[in-house]
């Protein structure tokens, strides 16, 4: 959680960009991301040098004595953040533009960095030397405060706070699922140390980051005290795909700032034949884009075999089933239309999940969860891939509050169903006796089948109506007459007062 001086410094950095003419929040995040990457290259290089010196091992710095940039050989030490930050503004700007940026763009051959793979089309957009100088000074102050804070998560928290500004600025908010909703889904799925976790529409990698945070908090001994598990966590656990290279850069940086060295963050159209993944992952966590319909030619034939549709929300559900291993689990956000849509494709995908997989839970969320960017009602589906059925009964929960107001302001409030959802889902054995009038309840598979696989909670929830007794009509009429007489008397008195004033 970012508070106090550090939060103020980050806000000031944002203001510096705005004053310099960069106001698109996605562009600002991208430029900050580049500069943080450049700063971190210096830090990591220094750290490796010290480690090798202590162990008596040879060390080869990426900032070699001579680095070839274009047709020129230059002193690599000038590319280090700790060197150029002290240059005058004009020289710093030319070094950054002519040397440092071309240098980091050519680091894509470094297979140890997911982020560096997406640098070849990066563009340096800071327009003036003065702006660059101010931004570098501001980032130095932010890093200094980060180093003073005794928290392993502070760098990740800083980046999360920067990402939150995308939503706050009212642009590109669709890229960010609310962090508390992501955290709820991760806690419900309780990932283990040997998972292979995938988000096929990862954006800023929010689900992958939250999974990593959860594992560090809850499964620390399983991961960090076991060499094989630690290697798996750093290099083979997290998979994220997206079609926006800007988001891939930001998502990869987000993962690395949260301590995950080499996540698999790649450019991929997950719904096309470009994605050949089958039976690969043990956990899918996602809030895929629901942008309407796709051309049939661009959709993988495998997906169309299971569900003949062009609607992305249905195709992604089909994809989740395909890419999961048998026994793998999925928690995903879907628009409410998926739950009750009457088309053949809607019914087919719901039937597939209920009949051939194991549907465990449907959590209905209020329409304000994604405000101010979208007012659509959504739900969370949780299921396990079995390919042989297994749905016996489905747990429904009617979330009415998520800890924030459901208007465009989304201010914090006390009402919050999320802790209750997590607690109840962890103890489903205690849910059997709940009535349909409660916040949560079970519905049998047979009843769902009889209702054409409708998964909307309103189809099954019962509402208790408290009878209200009204007085007899004659008594109501008498009260109205009394009110009329009182009004008439008061009007007469008012007219008399006005007449007296005019005399």
- pLDDT tens, residue by residue, 49-74: 887 888 788 888 888 777 777 778 88
CATH 3.40.50.150 intervals, the chain: 171-459
pLDDT at position 280 is: 96
CA distance 402 to 413: 9
| Confidence at residue 115, expressed as pLDDT on a 0 to 100 scale | 66
- Distance, in Å, from the CA atom of 239 to the CA atom of 430, rounded to the nearest integer, reads 35
Determine the pLDDT at residue 174: 43
Contact assessment for residue 172 and residue 215, using Cβ atoms and an 8 Å cutoff: no
pTM to 2 decimal places: 0.80
Q: Where are the alpha helices (DSSP H) in 190-311?
A: 206-218, 220-224, 227-235, 245-257, 301-306
d(CA 503, CA 493): 16
Interacting residues of 20 by C-beta distance below 8 A, sequence separation 6+: 126, 127, 128, 130, 131, 134, 135
CB 399 within 8 A of CB 366: yes
pLDDT of residue 403: 93
370-400 burial, b for 16+ CB within 10 Å, e for fewer?
Answer: bbeeeeebbbbbbbbbeeeebbebbbbbbbe
For residue 259, the tally of other CB atoms under 10 A from its CB is 16
**Residue 199, H or E segment:** strand 197-199
DSSP conformational letter for 193? T
Q: Taking the chain (503 residues) in consecutive chunks of 10 residues, what is each chunk's mean pLDDT? A: 81 93 88 88 84 82 78 84 93 92 72 65 89 96 85 71 68 63 96 96 91 93 89 93 85 81 86 89 92 67 82 92 97 95 93 97 93 82 96 97 88 94 96 94 97 96 80 90 92 85 69
Stretch(es) of the chain classified as CATH 1.20.1260 = 4-161
Contact 129, 25 (CB under 8 A): no
- Report the run of H or E that residue 425 belongs to, with start and end: helix 418-426
Q: How far apart are CA 35 and CA 140, in angstroms?
A: 11
Q: What is the rounded distance in angstroms from the CA atom of residue 310 to the CA atom of residue 35?
A: 40
Architecture of the structural domain at 171-459:
3-Layer(aba) Sandwich (3.40)
DSSP string, 82-133: HHHTTS-HHHHHHHIIIIIHHHHHGGGG-TT-TGGGG-TT-------HHHHH
Per-residue burial over 62-100, b if 16 or more Cβ lie within 10 Å, else e, is bbeeebebeeeebebebbbbebbeebeeeebbebbeebb
pLDDT at 299: 80
pLDDT at site 319? 95
CA distance 371 to 363: 18
The Cα 275–Cα 447 span in angstroms is 36
Q: Which residues contact 481 (CB under 8 A, 6 or more apart)?
A: none
Diameter over CA atoms, the chain: 108
Q: What is the pLDDT of residue 131?
A: 95
Residue 180: in which H helix or E strand, if any? helix 179-189
Expressed in angstroms, the distance from the first to the final Cα of the chain is 71
Sheet hosting strand 264-267, strand order edge to edge: 264-267, 238-242, 197-199, 281-286, 324-335, 378-384, 358-365, 393-398, 440-444
d(Cα 221, Cα 212) in Å, to the nearest integer? 14
CB 401 within 8 A of CB 365: no
- The whole-angstrom separation of Cα 212 and Cα 234 is 10
- CA nearest 424: which of 448, 446, 450, 395? 395
- Provide the CATH topology of domain 4-161: Ferritin (1.20.1260)
The candidate with the shortest Cα–Cα distance to 456, out of 360, 379, 389, 386, is 379
């Amino acid at each position: 959680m970012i508070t106090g001086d550090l939060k103020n410094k980050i806000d000031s950095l944002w203001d510096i960009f705005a004053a310099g003419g960069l106001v698109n929040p996605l562009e600002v995040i991208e430029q900050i991301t580049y500069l943080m990457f450049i700063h971190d290259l210096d830090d990591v290089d220094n750290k490796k040098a010290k480690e090798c010196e202590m162990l008596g091992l040879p060390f080869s710095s990426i900032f070699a004595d001579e680095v070839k940039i274009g047709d020129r050989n230059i002193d690599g030490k000038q590319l280090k953040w700790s060197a150029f930050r002290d240059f005058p503004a004009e020289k710093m700007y030319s070094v950054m533009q002519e040397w440092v940026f071309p240098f980091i763009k050519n680091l894509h051959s470094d297979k140890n960095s997911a982020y560096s793979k997406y640098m070849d089309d990066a563009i340096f957009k800071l327009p003036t030397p003065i702006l660059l100088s101010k931004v570098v000074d501001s980032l130095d102050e932010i890093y200094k405060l980060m180093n003073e804070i005794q928290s392993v998560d502070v760098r990740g928290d800083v980046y999360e706070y920067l990402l939150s500004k995308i939503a706050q600025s009212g642009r590109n908010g669709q890229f960010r699922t609310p962090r508390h909703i992501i955290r709820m889904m991760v806690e419900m799925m309780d990932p283990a140390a040997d998972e292979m976790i995938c988000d096929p529409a990862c954006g800023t990698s929010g689900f992958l980051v939250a999974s990593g945070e959860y594992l560090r908090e809850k499964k620390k001994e399983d991961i960090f005290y076991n060499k094989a598990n630690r290697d798996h966590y750093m290099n083979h656990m997290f998979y994220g795909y997206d079609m926006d290279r800007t988001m891939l850069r930001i998502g990869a940086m987000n993962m690395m700032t949260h301590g995950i060295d080499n996540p698999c963050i790649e450019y991929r159209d997950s719904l096309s034949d470009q994605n050949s993944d089958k039976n690969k992952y043990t956990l899918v966590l996602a809030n895929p884009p629901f942008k309407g319909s796709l051309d049939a030619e661009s959709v993988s034939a495998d997906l169309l075999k299971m569900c003949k549709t062009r609607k992305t929300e249905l195709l992604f559900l089909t994809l989740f089933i395909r890419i999961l291993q048998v026994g793998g689990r999925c928690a995903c956000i879907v628009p409410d239309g998926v739950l009750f849509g009457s088309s053949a494709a809607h019914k087919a995908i719901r039937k597939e999940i209920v009949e051939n997989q194991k549907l465990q839970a449907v959590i209905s969320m209020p329409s304000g969860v994604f405000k101010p960017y979208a007012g659509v009602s959504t739900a969370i589906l949780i299921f396990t891939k079995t390919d042989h059925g297994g749905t016996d009964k489905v747990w429904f929960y009617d979330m009415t509050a998520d800890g924030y107001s459901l208007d465009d302001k989304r201010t914090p409030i006390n009402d919050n169903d999320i802790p209750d959802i997590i607690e109840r889902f962890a103890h489903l054995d205690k849910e059997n006796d709940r009535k349909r009038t409660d916040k949560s309840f079970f519905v049998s598979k047979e009843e769902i089948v009889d209702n054409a696989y409708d998964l909307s909670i309103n189809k099954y929830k019962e509402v208790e109506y408290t009878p209200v007794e009204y007085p007899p009509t004659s008594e109501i009429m008498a009260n109205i007459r009394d009110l009329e007489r009182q009004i008439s008397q008061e009007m007469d008195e008012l007219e008399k007062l006005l007449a007296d004033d005019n005399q």
